[in-house]
Amino acid sequence: MADHYEVLGVSREATTDEIKKAYRRLARQLHPDVNPGEEASERFKLVTHAYDVLSDPEQRARYDMGGDGGFGGAGGFGGFGDIFETFFGAAGGNRGGRPRSRRERGQDALVRVTLDLGDVVFGVHRDIEVDTAVVCDTCEGSCCQPGTQPVRCDICQGSGHVQRQVRSLLGNVVTTQPCNVCQGYGTTIPYPCATCQGQGRVRSRRTVSLDIPAGVETGLRLQLPGSGEVGPAGGPNGDLYLEVTVAPHEVFSREGDDLLATLEVSMPDAILGTTTTIESLDGPVELELRPGVQAGDILTIKGRGITPLRGSQRGDLRVGVHVVTPTRLDAKERALIEEFAGRTKAPAPRLAEFHQGLFAKLRDRFRNG
Ligand code: ZN
Ligand code: ZN
């Protein structure tokens, strides 16, 4: 096995500084990123291992006394990248190169809002209370008591990570781990801000004003970029999502962009026809029932439905006719109906195809709520 001093090209009396300089020079020549190839790679491992041993006073003493830890062929792997980074910064590789930033993007926030069907028809303006993290006013997100600053971590010298020599079957292996003392930030905060306990953000309730467009549906999420939680240490905000629930309406239900309802019509009105005024979601609408309108007929009122989310052409209001049969008749009414029946020679009940029309669907909708 090559002598570590020879590998680095330094004398046995070399100072730690000289050893460091020699390693730095050789590593620049031989690092696999700079000098790909089998031979350079093998030499780089040797150089790195030699440096590992000689830069650590304890190991160097042991080596000088003839007891090297043994450098199995693959020894030093996983290590040279880290040492290289220590000298040349993160440019040498991306593993553990830079300390972590305290600033991180905040989380997205979700707020639920319940709308009436009328809000959906036209769109609505809402002021919504949102409870999220916001930047701490006291420290303005710095996490430090005003007038103080983070200080460089002594344990990792500000790099955010520490190297640990692990003795394994393969020899000494250098691993890089986040520094426990500063959690990898490279700095510690000696005087955390008292308002936010050093988080740089506090929870706060605020009001977000927004226009909810027409045509939204239950389950739809509207995204408000940058209105979510502020990140730790004043990091950028996440997004705010507004999840819509549309409350069921006691009269109208929705099918696509159309509104559906049932119109209850008395038997005489169905027979004779009439004009009536109904309350649609946007005000009264005059509706004409032709004489002889049938139960199950659908009357369409154009353009009184919902404005679609994308588009401007409103849907229709469709009204299913339900003829209400009188259940309590006094003697005179009964006599009149009997007379009417006798005159019209109405056919006896007869079987026809089952009516799976919209009106049946409408009724089901009402039964199931
Ligand atoms: Zn603060
Ligand atoms: Zn540290």
Per-residue pLDDT, averaged over 179-184, amounts to 92
pTM: 0.60
**Maximum Cα–Cα distance for the chain, whole Å?**
131
* Architecture of the domain made up of 253-367: Sandwich (2.60)
Of 37-41, 70-74, 273-277, the poorest mean pLDDT is in: 70-74
Q: How far apart are CA 245 and CA 196, in angstroms?
A: 35
Q: Which segment of 24-28, 29-33, 121-125 scores lowest on mean pLDDT?
A: 29-33
Contact (Cβ atoms closer than 8 angstroms) between residue 161 and residue 176: yes
Distance 141 CA to ligand 1 centre (A): 6
Same fold? 99-145+196-248, 253-367:
yes
Give the pLDDT score at 364. Answer: 57
Question: What six digits make up the tokens of 141?
Answer: 């997100």
CA atoms of 191 and 53, how far apart (whole Å): 39
pLDDT (tens digit per residue) in 97-143: 789 899 999 999 999 999 999 999 989 999 999 999 999 999 999 99
Distance 187 CA to ligand 2 centre (A): 6
Q: What spacing in Å lies between the alpha carbon of 358 and ligand 2's midpoint? A: 71
Please give the distance, rounded to the nearest whole angstrom, from the Cα atom of residue 194 to the centre of ligand 1. 6
The per-residue pLDDT for range 245-266, each reduced to its tens digit, is 999 999 999 999 999 999 999 9
For residues 76 and 173, the answer to whether their CB atoms sit within 8 Å is: yes
Distance 52 CA to ligand 2 centre (A): 21
Q: Ligand 1: distance of its center to the CA of 161 in Å?
A: 26
Q: How much distance in Å is there from the Cα of 339 to the middle of ligand 2?
A: 102
Q: Residue with structure tokens 């304890």? A: 58
- Tell me what pLDDT residue 361 has: 55
* Structure confidence at residue 55 (pLDDT): 87
**Angle, CA 193 vertex, CA 229 and CA 224 arms, to 5°:** 10
Q: What does the alpha-carbon distance between residue 266 and residue 338 come to, in Å, rounded to a whole number?
A: 18
- Calculate how far, in angstroms, residue 192's C-alpha sits from the geometric centre of ligand 1: 8
pLDDT tops 70 at residue 69: no
Ligand nearest to the CA of 162: 2
Residue 96 has a pLDDT of 54
Give the count of beta carbons closer than 10 Å to the beta carbon of residue 96. Answer: 24
pLDDT value of residue 171 = 77
CA 143 to ligand 1 centroid distance, Å: 5
Nearest bound ligand to the CA of residue 134: 1
Look up tokens 């460089």; give the residue.
152
Name the band, by pLDDT with cuts 50, 70 and 90, for residue 285. very high
CA 233 to ligand 2 centroid distance, Å? 18
If you measure from the C-alpha of residue 233 to the centroid of ligand 1, how many angstroms do you get, rounded to a whole number? 9
Cα(101) to centroid(ligand 2), Å? 12
What are the sequence ranges of the domains in the chain?
A: 99-145+196-248, 253-367
Q: Which of the following CATH numbers is that of domain 99-145+196-248: 3.30.70.890, 2.40.10.10, 2.60.260.20, 2.40.30.170? A: 2.60.260.20
- Taking the CA of 232 as reference, the closest ligand is 1
Could you list which residues have their CB under 5 Å from ion ligand 1? 136, 138-139, 193, 195-196
Ligand sitting nearest the alpha carbon of 135: 1
